[in-house]
Amino acid sequence: METKKLEFFFCIFLFSLLAGHQKVGGSSHHHHHHTHRHPYVFKPSKLFVFGDSYADTGNIAKSQANSWKFPYGITFPGKPVGRFSDGRVLTDYIAKFVGIKSPIPYRLRKYAAKRIRYGINFAYGGTGVFNTLVPLPNMTTQIDFLQQLIHDAVYSCSDLQSSVALVSLAGNDYSAFTARNGSAQGLQSFIPLVVTQLATNLKRIHGLGVRKVAVTTLEPLGCLPRSTAMSSFQMCNGTQNAAVSYHNLLLQQAVAKLNNESKDSAFVVLDLYGSFMSVFKNKGEHPGSSKFVNPFKPCCVGISQAYSCGSVDGSGVKKYTICNDPESAFFWDTVHPTQEGWHAVYSALQASLEQLH
Binding residues vs ligand NAG (CB under 6 A): 130-131, 138, 140-141, 181, 183-186, 197, 230, 237, 239-240, 256, 260
Between CA 117 and CA 113 the distance in angstroms is 8
Between CA 125 and CA 185 the distance in angstroms is 25
Look up 159 and say whether it is catalytic: no
To ligand NAG, the closest distance from the beta carbon of 188 in angstroms equals 9
- CA contacts within 13 A on the Cβ side of 138: 15
Annotated catalytic residue: which of 53, 163, 175, 352? 53
Looking at beta carbons only, is 181 or 321 nearer to ligand NAG? Answer: 181
Between CA 124 and CA 135 the distance in angstroms is 10
To ligand NAG, the closest distance from the beta carbon of 52 in angstroms equals 14
Look up 158 and say whether it is catalytic: no
Annotated catalytic residue: which of 86, 308, 333, 343? 333
Looking at beta carbons only, is 185 or 232 nearer to ligand NAG? Answer: 185
Looking at beta carbons only, is 47 or 236 nearer to ligand NAG? Answer: 236
To ligand NAG, the closest distance from the beta carbon of 76 in angstroms equals 32
To ligand NAG, the closest distance from the beta carbon of 207 in angstroms equals 16
Annotated catalytic residue: which of 206, 247, 336, 343? 336
Looking at beta carbons only, is 65 or 191 nearer to ligand NAG? Answer: 191
> What residue is closest to ligand NAG based on CB?
186
Looking at beta carbons only, is 112 or 249 nearer to ligand NAG? Answer: 249
To ligand NAG, the closest distance from the beta carbon of 226 in angstroms equals 10
Look up 53 and say whether it is catalytic: yes
Between CA 298 and CA 1 the distance in angstroms is 49
Residues paired with residue 121 on neighbouring β-strands, in sequence order? 49, 105
Looking at beta carbons only, is 227 or 339 nearer to ligand NAG? Answer: 227
To ligand NAG, the closest distance from the beta carbon of 257 in angstroms equals 7
Looking at beta carbons only, is 33 or 263 nearer to ligand NAG? Answer: 263
To ligand NAG, the closest distance from the beta carbon of 66 in angstroms equals 23
Residue 20 backbone phi and psi in degrees, to 5: -65, -40
Q: Is residue 316 classed exposed, middle or buried when 0-12, 13-18 and 19+ CB atoms within 10 A define those classes?
A: exposed
> What would the 3-class secondary structure string for the chain be?
CHHHHHHHHHHHHHHHHHHHHHHHCCCCCCCCCCCCCCCCCCCCCEEEEECCCCCCCCCCCHHHCHHHCCCCCCCCCCCCCCCCCCCCCHHHHHHHHHCCCCCEEHHHCCCCHHHHHHCEECCCCCCCCCCCCCCCCCHHHHHHHHHHHHHCCCCCHHHHHCEEEEECCCCHHHHHHHHHHCCCCCHHHHHHHHHHHHHHHHHHHHHCCCCEEEEECCCCHHHCHHHHHHHCCCCCCHHHHHHHHHHHHHHHHHHHHHHHHCCCCCEEEECHHHHHHHHHHHCCCECCECCCCCCCCCCEEECCCCCCCCCECCCCCECEEECCCHHHCCECCCCCECHHHHHHHHHHHHHHHHHHC
Instruction: Catalogue the active-site residues.
Output: 53, 333, 336
